[in-house]
Amino acid sequence: MVRLLLRFSEEQVPQPITSEIILEYKVPIVILVAHVNSKGGEILAEVPDEAQQKIVKAFRKKGVSVTIPKLIEVDTEKCFSCGSCVALCPVEAISIEKDSTVEFDKEKCLGSTCSICVDACPARAIKSVKQANGDQSAGVKK
């Protein structure tokens, strides 16, 4: 699966764009996080690797901005279990285990659409990396 960040304008919010694309292309689109109100918003979604290009094109055709966010990678050698990142994570993707090691749940992580832990880590143990299966021509979020 590839993660996509979809940005909807105020005009696009009332339109059933995502469901129309699911029906038209018969591709499952998994909504991971949605921050949308009447003024517009963002949806972080996952689509199958093989459907990536056509789904990106379909959203762009409807005027939706699409980027491929980076994911995070943790260098466990550098991490000294300070815990600074744990409380900051907005989706509880980071936890401290009984042996004091820090675990990241990459399924929950918002990647470069968030990056709070990347900036907060005093050991610089967390970095953003491009999605291996992401089509870079579709646009990677910095």
Residue number, 15 or 84, with CB nearest to ligand SF4: 84
Residues in region 14-53 near ligand SF4 by CB under 6 A: none
CA dist 127 and 112 (Å) reads 9
* Nearest-angstrom CA–CA distance, 39 and 55: 24
Q: Which stretch binds ligand SF4 (CB under 6 A): 46-54, 59-67, 121-129, 130-138?
A: 121-129
Applying CB under 6 A, which part among 7-15, 18-26, 50-58, 101-109 lies near ligand SF4?
101-109
Minimal distance in Å, beta carbon 126 to ligand SF4?
Answer: 5
2 binding ligand SF4? (CB under 6 A): no
Q: What angle separates helix 52-61 from helix 17-25, to the nearest 10 degrees?
A: 140
The dihedral sign for the CA sequence 87, 89, 91, 92: negative
3-state secondary structure of 79: coil
Shortest distance, CB of residue 45 to ligand SF4, whole angstroms?
15
